[in-house]
Structure 1
């Protein structure tokens, strides 16, 4: 632990700035959150990408969203004895303990994880093929979907298509969890698939009836 160091000065300064303004102006709200516990209405599963700012997109305050982030916003299939427990644990807590009403999967443009998956499937990323690559093995969740976009000649179109397939994959995998299937069937939980263009600030939602994404 001797390698652990204090926070960089710029983060320390930002914290003190927030404590003196954002926290000071809303002290009662933060103390209420602390004493009453969290009661989020929705869970959002988004990418780790630093450019995807979920709370800003929806204008959300602290306590509104239960947010889980991972590479390429993927949800693995239900595997009680599998290796992908981090995301599954977050989903379980949100649905079974917090009892959120909505689970939102949010994909985005120019996703590095998706690009890595495409490069891997094309044989251009041997480092991701290595057994010890955490990113590569995580992207194996999406790998079967590459066949759906393999024939696209335009690289940008191919990327965008696979980014949206990642959202669909996660929605389908969510339904393999028996307790999600149950509450969705009962009507107490709804699933939503979204994709955002970072540069344009646009947002699209997935329509299962048309099997396509449409502007929100």
Structure 2
């Protein structure tokens, strides 16, 4: 075993002997009664921003969807009855229609490599890899919006602006899903855009009235 795998196995041992043993009834109830989370969170696959750690959630609190750059693709249907693979869309459908969550949170973050890849592509550079470029192009509009707001923006400022605008593009894309739009309009589902700066320990939420991200605490 390599050191990192040994660390993971030791971590499970610690979890089983400490955390699990103290909360065994909770886990067994969740298995017996099924999960009933109130929140679905679309978070980044980035190893530094695990929402369960950052937000200190309990098992059963959050249905987590993690992908590169915490993106929501627009709703689309396959043509001619042919089925493609829609991982994030399938997870959203399950969380909203089957689990009946009450909140959808797009959980963006600073220093996001996926958003950085999108910026590289928008500036005419080749994006490394076969799939990342196509996936992150979902939020190409984030670059356009950042540049429209400040044509001279660049560097770290451009990165941070695009990360925030990417959250807003994903919020717009959420509303293209009929089962989400219907529930939002009926008042049974709320959607939120959050932004985490893990280096500074700061969390903010998009305020649609003020049209900006404001600190949550």
Structure-2-length-normalised TM-score: 0.90
Please give the alpha-carbon distance, in whole angstroms, between the structure 2 residues aligned to 1:122 and 1:55: 34
Q: Distance in 2 between matches of 1:84 and 1:210?
A: 37
Structure 2: 5+ residue stretches without partners:
none
Q: Does 1:207 align with 2:207?
A: yes
Conservation of the 8 A alpha-carbon contact between 2:141 and 2:169: no
- Structure 2: distance between partners of 1:114 and 1:16: 36
- Post-superposition CA distance 1:40-79 (Å, at most 9, x none): 0100001111111212332210000000001111101110
From 137, 142, 164, the equivalent of 1:140 is 137
Alpha-carbon offset, residue 24 of structure 1: 0.9
Distance 1:28 1:148 in 2: 49
1:63 to 36, 60, 80: 60
Q: Distance in 1 between matches of 2:132 and 2:154?
A: 25
Q: Distance in 2 between matches of 1:156 and 1:96?
A: 39
The aligned residue for residue 49 of structure 1 is: 46
1:84–1:141 Cα change, 3 Å = farther
| 1:75 maps onto 2:72 in alignment | yes
Q: Distance in 2 between matches of 1:199 and 1:102?
A: 26
Per the TM alignment, residue 123 of structure 1 is displaced from its structure 2 partner at its CA by 1.9
1:84 to partner: Cα distance: 5.9
- Select the residue among 26, 29, 32 that pairs with 1:32: 29
Worse-matched range after superposition: 57-66 or 184-193: 57-66
2:111 maps to: 110
**Cα distance change, pair 162–84 in 1 and its aligned pair in 2 (3 A):** farther
Per the alignment, residue 20 of structure 1 pairs with 17
Deviation per CA, 1:112-158, whole angstroms, max 9, x where unpaired? 00111111111222545xxxx21111011011331222434341110
- 2:172 aligns with 172
What is residue 3 of structure 1 aligned with on the other side? none
Q: Is the 8 A contact 2:112 2:163 kept in 1?
A: yes
Q: Is the 8 A contact 2:174 2:180 kept in 1?
A: yes
**Aligned residues of 1:76 and 1:84 also touching (Cα < 8 A):** no
Farther-moved stretch of structure 1 (193-202 vs 82-91)? 82-91
- Confirm or deny: 8 A CA contact 1:101 1:188 kept in the other structure: yes
